């Protein structure tokens, strides 16, 4: 069994085949998926799916670093309300992106800190989007939660030092399709996996993005998360059954499911 800890199956990309796509996930051993909604509107979509597929789909909501400038008091209030629903088991994605986000870093830092404070109040794990921003994220997290916090370093794309840094902060490192990519530039991600154990790691697809090999070029979907877990098994020299079981236990521990 597997859990896809991060996907966007509320997107229009799945409008025509959401039902059969979720069935294919089950057929591939993916028994649970976390649908990450962006801003209250996306969160409501994720929640609706979680209610439609109880025990199979769970929900998350947050202000992505791309939306940092849109986070105001009323949005935070809507998050608080949405996150009180039992299907909402994760808060995010949130964080800092120094590559593509439209808002300057200080705006992203503020939005991240405000959401981390609310996560503390609600005692929820968070899903962090960090792109070339580990040190910045670390500073914001320690500023709000000096002892660190809990959650996932989503779509991890840095190297061994940053991977160990996330573990030090209390987080699990979440690998997506890049770990399967043949590109040399992805070697560093595989190096990071080598310094971790399955107790530090969860897997995700980030569907519809980042489709793993051998499906690259197609739309991604939760059933493909097995390819990422299989690649990790190869890197660690473990059986895939063992990696499936241990990373799923890691995800369950954080999410409480």
Binding mask 163-202 for Zn ion (x = CB under 5 A): ----------------------------------------
Q: With respect to Zn ion, which residue has the nearer C-beta, 186 or 245?
A: 186
Query: How far is Cα 67 from Cα 185, in angstroms, rounded to an integer?
Result: 28
The answer to whether 105 and 96 are in contact (CB under 8 A) is yes
The widest CA-to-CA distance across the chain, in whole angstroms, is: 49
Is residue 204 at the binding interface for Zn ion, with CB under 5 A as the rule? no
Minimum CB distance to Zn ion, residue 238 (Å): 27
Beta strands 171-175; 151-154: pairing state: parallel
Stretch that binds Zn ion, among 65-73, 74-82, 96-104, 204-212 (CB under 5 A): 204-212
Q: Which is nearer to Zn ion, 5 or 246 (CB)?
A: 5
Could you tell me the smallest distance in angstroms from the CB atom of residue 210 to Zn ion?
Answer: 9
By C-beta, is 97 or 206 nearer to Zn ion?
206
The sign of the dihedral angle between the CA atoms of 211, 213, 217, 221 is negative
Rounded to the nearest whole angstrom, what is the least distance from the CB of residue 36 to Zn ion in the complex? Answer: 5
Q: Which of residues 36 and 124 has its CB atom nearest to Zn ion in the complex?
A: 36
Contact 10, 42 (CB under 8 A): yes
Q: How far is the CB of 8 from Zn ion (least distance, A)?
A: 6
Q: Which of 87, 200, 206, 221 binds Zn ion (CB under 5 A)?
A: 206
- Is residue 221 involved in binding Zn ion (CB under 5 A)? no
By beta carbon distance, the residue nearest Zn ion is: 206
Rounded Cα distance between 105 and 128, Å, is: 15
Query: What is the full DSSP assignment across 24-65?
Result: HHHHTTEEEEEEEEEHHHHHHHHHHHHHHSTTTEEEEEE--G
Query: What is the nearest approach in angstroms of Zn ion to the Cβ of residue 200?
Result: 20
Distances (CA, A) of 47 to 90, 104, 171, 246: 12, 30, 24, 27
Point out which span in 118-126, 169-177, 205-213, 232-240 binds Zn ion (CB under 5 A).
205-213
Q: Could you give the residue ranges of the DSSP H alpha helices within 83-123?
A: 105-122
- Based on CB atoms, which residue is closest to Zn ion, 118 or 155? 155
Rounded Cα distance, 18 and 21, in Å? 5
Site string for Zn ion, 69-88 (x = CB under 5 A): --------------------
Task: Kindly list the residues in this chain that would bind Zn ion in the complex (CB under 5 A).
Answer: 206
């Amino acid at each position: 069994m597997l859990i896809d800890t991060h996907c966007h199956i509320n997107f229009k990309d799945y409008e025509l085949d959401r039902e059969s796509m979720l069935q294919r996930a089950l057929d591939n051993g993916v028994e649970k998926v976390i649908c990450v909604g962006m801003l209250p509107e996306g969160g409501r979509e994720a929640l609706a799916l979680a209610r439609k597929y109880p025990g199979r789909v769970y929900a998350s909501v947050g202000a992505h670093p791309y939306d940092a400038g849109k986070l105001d008091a009323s949005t935070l209030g809507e998050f608080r309300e949405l996150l009180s629903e039992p299907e909402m088991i994760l808060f995010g994605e949130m964080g800092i992106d120094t590559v593509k986000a439209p808002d300057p870093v200080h705006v992203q830092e503020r939005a991240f800190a405000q959401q981390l404070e609310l996560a503390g109040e609600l005692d929820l794990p968070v899903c962090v989007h960090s792109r070339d921003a580990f040190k910045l994220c670390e500073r914001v997290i320690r500023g709000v939660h000096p002892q660190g916090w809990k959650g996932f370093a989503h779509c991890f794309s840095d190297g061994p030092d940053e991977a160990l840094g996330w573990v030090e902060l209390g987080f699990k490192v979440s690998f997506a399709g890049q770990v399967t990519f043949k590109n040399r530039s992805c070697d560093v991600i595989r190096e990071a996996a080598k310094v971790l154990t399955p107790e530090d790691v969860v897997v995700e697809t980030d569907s519809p993005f980042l489709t793993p090999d051998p499906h690259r070029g197609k739309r991604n979907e939760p059933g493909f998360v097995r390819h990422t877990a299989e690649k990790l098994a190869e890197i660690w020299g473990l059986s895939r059954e063992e990696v499936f079981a241990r990373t799923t236990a890691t995800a369950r521990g954080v999410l409480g499911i």
